[in-house]
Amino acid sequence: MHKTVTKLADGRELIYYDTEPASRDAVDRRPLEPAASVSEIRVDPFTGDAVTVAAHRQARTYHPPADECPLCPSLGDRLSEIPAEDYQVAVFENRFPSLASSSAEHVAPWSDGPYALAPGTGRCEVVCFTSDHGAAFGDLTEERARLVLDAWTDRTAELHTRPDVRQVYCFENRGADIGVTLGHPHGQIYAFPFTTPRTAQALDRVAAHQRETGRNLYDEVLAAERSTIGAEDSRVVLAGEHWTAFVPFAARWPYEVHLYPNRRVADLTGLDEAARAEFPRIYLDLLRRFDRLFPEPAPYIAAWHQTPRPAEVELALHLELFTIRRTAGKLKYLAGTESGMGAFMNDIRPETAARTLREL
């Protein structure tokens, strides 16, 4: 991997990742003024969950035509967020971030009785997987998918060194049904100044299991799933030498797969070379199976779960991949029970979903 760091016209950082050294000296010619982030983090007094309020994001780019895509390379007078005429993988600071260190300049910490508010510091980045506007992650070669993995790993390592960052979250939203506003194949990285609610809940469960049994919950779950490989009702979809993909026992979504390295690590930086080498084949296979589920490409979310820093308990690195479509032409809406109570109702048995994905 070869990394080139430069700046956009408004001072935001842009990083190119290439498989081989490349000239990346193109200059951003847009007349941009530095943007101010005024995000707030408010704490729910009943749950303790942090909620980010970022009203300035209402003006962000929304479904531009393909010839005005801000993630495509800059060509001639068509200037985008990427000044180069071509690129392999590019990462840059979001122009409309939910979290940014500059929020500390505009928002003061405040508390009054049951209420508490803090500046929404941290960082939000956009990860462009390819310069090809019409492609998808599943269309990448294994070499290019490995480059994306290396970029995620590099960003995780660097962002974890920032004093205002506690948890690094790499993810991809794919498809208009998910709410994606830019059609170009891309993902995002959120560097949170707090531990996210779902991670905090998982860490509490892992800590309790360790106290009660002396064993690691992630190790037990992975061992239980791998012990069923080859069985008719196995929830394992793919099993490699270094990775295992399975439908979780209590899947919330009709088609949901968790991808674990067979050797437990805290985050992407802990993967060894053997796991990194095998990941592209396994992950691309999974994405292509998802795209064969329905007549049209499946909208999905791919979410990396990593250990916050510092943390008393270790979260096992894993990726959760799920689609919000339950069958052809029908979405799985988060309706009354899910949105109102957080109580998920799944229309498909996890064992059936796993068998379907294996057969694809």
CATH 3.30.428.10 residue ranges in the chain? 2-194, 198-359
Please give the CATH architecture assigned to the domain spanning 198-359.
2-Layer Sandwich (3.30)
What does the block give as tokens for 176? 């208009």
Among the listed residues 56, 160, 184, 186, the single catalytic one is 186
Instruction: Tell me the pTM.
Output: 0.96
Q: Which long-range contacts (CB under 8 A, 24 or more apart) does 173-179 make?
A: 173/301, 174/136, 174/137, 174/297, 174/299, 174/300, 174/301, 174/302, 175/297, 175/298, 175/299, 175/300, 176/299, 177/299, 177/324, 177/325, 177/331, 178/299, 178/300, 178/301, 178/324
Give the residue-averaged pLDDT of 53-63: 79
DSSP one-letter code for 221: H
The rounded distance, in Å, linking the Cα atoms of 262 and 264 is 6
Q: What is the pLDDT of residue 255?
A: 98
Q: What is the largest CA-CA distance in the chain?
A: 64
CATH superfamily of 2-194: HIT-like (3.30.428.10)
What does the block give as tokens for 207? 């800590």
What does the block give as tokens for 14? 């842009």
Tokens 């998982």, residue located: 202
pLDDT digits over 216-249, tens only? 999 999 999 999 999 999 999 999 999 999 999 9
Integer CA distances (angstroms), 84 to 5, 10, 16, 143, in order: 13, 16, 10, 21
pLDDT digits over 6-15, tens only? 999 999 999 9
Active site annotation includes 2: no
Q: Which residues pair with 124 in a beta bridge?
A: 190
pLDDT digits over 152-201, tens only? 999 999 999 999 999 999 999 999 899 898 999 999 999 999 999 999 99
